[in-house]
Amino acid sequence: MAETLLANRSLMLVLHDVAPETWPDYQPFVQAIDDMGGVPMTWLVVPDFHHRNPLTRSPEFCRLLERRLARGDELALHGYYHADDGPPPRGPREYVERRIYTHEGEFHSLDQASALQRLQAGLTLFGQQGWPVAGFVAPAWLMSEGTRAALRQLPLRYTSTPRHLYRLPDFTAFAAPGLVWSARSAWRRGLSRVVSDWQRRRWREADTVRLGLHPVDMRHPSARNYWLQTLRQLLEQGREPLTKSAWLERQATP
């Protein structure tokens, strides 16, 4: 019954914060996915994670990413530094977004020129490595209006937020709800499980579901095992695993 209900529906497995220092966290999980066979992943790559992980100094890791491309995975640009080094927050809402929700909202407050500079630097690095790139995802999905304006000037095909993928340059929205955990503490992991289970029931018949994983998830067996179990269940229900680019290519213009 489940396979019939979910025929022609999909899932997207997305690894956030991909960098040389986060690869040891991800490596066992990626091996487990590879052992399943036939599950492509979208890797959100940070060119210089927290100003201390420039990809240009990690040729072995770059070769690993090239091998992932050869397997059918996708690489997307995920900020440049993945660190919020802008001026202090202004007002309570911005304080919550940039200091409580996350400290990594790099593109939250950038003006158009600054956003364009970082985006172009990231695309240049991808080009130097010979990596195709269709998508950009802002760290913590926080994008200023300046960032949105900059994205309209670039040859990227999509960006995303927690609930949508957007086709660029016109920001055409497609519903693509995502599951994500906050795994930094035991109470957050417990709450994340409850919320994710509720969302899975709510989105059972959604055309697609995104699984948004982070390195910290991999450090806790409860979170890591949840993602593996959820992925297996969604596959057993008949959902087809796709990269973000592959899924977007199938979407007609609304």
pLDDT tens profile 28-79: 999 999 999 999 999 999 999 998 989 999 999 999 999 999 999 999 999 9
Whether the CA torsion 32, 37, 42, 43 is positive or negative: it is: positive
Per-residue pLDDT at 98: 44
246 membership: H or E segment, kind and range: helix 244-249
Residues in contact with 98: Cβ distance below 8 Å, sequence separation at least 6, in sequence order? 84, 86, 89, 105, 108, 109, 142
Beta bridge partners of residue 210, listed in sequence order:
12, 178
Domain regions of the chain by residue span: 2-249
Residues in contact with 125: Cβ distance below 8 Å, sequence separation at least 6, in sequence order? 47, 55, 56
Whether the CA torsion 245, 103, 65, 123 is positive or negative: it is: positive
User: Mean per-residue pLDDT for 181-203?
Assistant: 92
Beta bridge partners of residue 165, listed in sequence order:
160, 174
Q: Is domain 2-249 in CATH 3.40.50.300, yes or no?
A: no
| Mean pLDDT over the full length of the chain | 90
1 pLDDT higher than 50: no
**Amino acid in position 195:** V
**Interatomic CA distance for residues 48 and 57, integer angstroms:** 10
Whether the CA torsion 96, 192, 68, 203 is positive or negative: it is: negative
**Interatomic CA distance for residues 236 and 229, integer angstroms:** 11
Read off the pLDDT of residues 92-146 as tens digits, 9 standing for 90 and up: 554 344 444 456 668 888 999 999 999 999 999 999 999 999 999 999 899 999 9
Residues in contact with 250: Cβ distance below 8 Å, sequence separation at least 6, in sequence order? 242
Read off the pLDDT of residues 201-211 as tens digits, 9 standing for 90 and up: 999 999 999 99
Per-residue pLDDT at 109: 83
Burial 121-132 (b: 16+ CB within 10 A, else e): ebbebbeebebe
Per-residue pLDDT at 8: 82
